[in-house]
Amino acid sequence: MENSSYGNELESRLQALEERVAQLETSIPETASNPPLDSNAGEKFWAIEELASEDIPNGSVIFAGISRLPSGEEVSYQWQRTTDFLRTTEWDIHFARLAAISHPIRGKIAQRLLHGPMSIHKFVEEEIVSSIGAAYHHCGELEKAGWIIKEGKGIYRLAPARIIPLLTIIAATEGH
């Protein structure tokens, strides 16, 4: 009887390990085996060439993207600023917005919201935050910085105009 119970325990522990390994394998970040898209292989710097063709004396910066979310919603966004504007504008508001999203818990909240709206209670249930109070605090900071919007009673979603910028920031932090 002892051997049978030991065997069951061992089998259950092995199954738990296999499930954990499978979960970890699906969360492995992009590597050399999964390189970024090269949409125009023949025109490696097509975006730079397009910017160079514009008559902007000191250049400009652009980002754009299209993303189909798990909900089926498709978001497209494009933003461009001259480098003169970016060099001379006050950066404080930009730092505040970056600080809000760069907090590890808030980053996890934003990443989770890419999958669709979520309730404060779900953040606690999924152990993204430790309490309802913490969830409201972090969501409040993200909302104040413009990253998320409140849809209803305790339900939050990413602001549509912030989805592509968020993904752009994450892409910009890759080792390239």
CA dist., res. 103 & res. 4, Å (int): 48
**Is 76 a domain residue?**
yes
**Is 129 a domain residue?**
yes
Q: Write out pLDDT tens, residues 79-96.
A: 999 999 999 999 998 999
Residue 35 has pLDDT above 90, yes or no: no
Give me the mean pLDDT over the 39-50 stretch: 71
| Residue 77's CATH number | 1.10.10.10
**Identity (one letter) of the amino acid at 110?**
A
Give me the mean pLDDT over the 71-80 stretch: 92
Structural domain containing residue 104: 58-172
Based on the structure, what is the number of domains in the chain? 1
**Is 92 a domain residue?**
yes
Do 156 and 120 contact (CB within 8 A), yes or no?
yes
Count other C-beta atoms under 10 Å from residue 110's C-beta: 23
**Is 108 a domain residue?**
yes
Q: Write out pLDDT tens, residues 92-137.
A: 989 999 999 999 999 999 999 999 999 999 999 999 999 999 999 9
The whole-number pLDDT of residue 37 equals: 57
**Is 47 a domain residue?**
no
Residue 33 has pLDDT above 60, yes or no: no
